[in-house]
Amino acid sequence: MSSTSCWPALTATTGTRSSAPSPRWLGGSPVGLPGRVDDTAKAWLLQRAVALAYPSLDEGFGFPLLEAMAADTPVVASTAGSIPEVAGDAALLTPPDDTAALAHALARVLEDEAVRAELVAAGRRRLDAFTWTTTAQSMAALYSALAMEHGR
């Protein structure tokens, strides 16, 4: 992603993976609403987060999931849009309108080291499906199949 990309964010630093000081925009609070964050702040958040909560109601692709996985951050997300396809077995998924299920999944990640470790390991494996090489090979195979189907 470019340096101009941004995420809406709610942050919580209690129980994070790092004892590094909170950035200025958190104002020393363990919970903050910094609004949209740039790539530098996003990387800071993902590297220190215990989990990414991504209860999207609609999703076109799901880059935030892959970014969290690349940062070894467990993912809890909704079943909306493309999220299940992108996440595979590397996230705890809940219905997008079920706040109780979301809270339960987040509690599992926060309270169970084994769940966190499995999600991190699954996330590392899942990233292999989304390399540029894999994507290019998949697109080439698709184009070849389409060309053969249409007799070209």
> According to the model, what pLDDT value does residue 150 have?
86
Give pLDDT tens digits for 90-138: 999 999 999 999 999 999 999 999 999 999 999 999 998 888 888 888 8
Q: Answer positive or negative: Cα dihedral of 80, 85, 86, 90.
A: positive
The Cα–Cα gap between 132 and 120 comes to 21
Per-residue burial over 31-60, b if 16 or more Cβ lie within 10 Å, else e, is ebebeebeeebbebbbebbbbbbbbbeebe
- Residue with the bigger pLDDT between 130 and 78: it is 78
Where is average pLDDT lowest: 1-5, 54-58, 68-72, 93-97?
1-5
- The contacts of residue 144 (CB under 8 Å, 6+ apart) are none
The domains of the chain, with CATH numbers, are 7-149 (3.40.50.2000)
pLDDT band at 22 (very low <50, low <70, confident <90, very high): low
| pTM of the predicted model as reported, rounded to 2 decimal places | 0.76
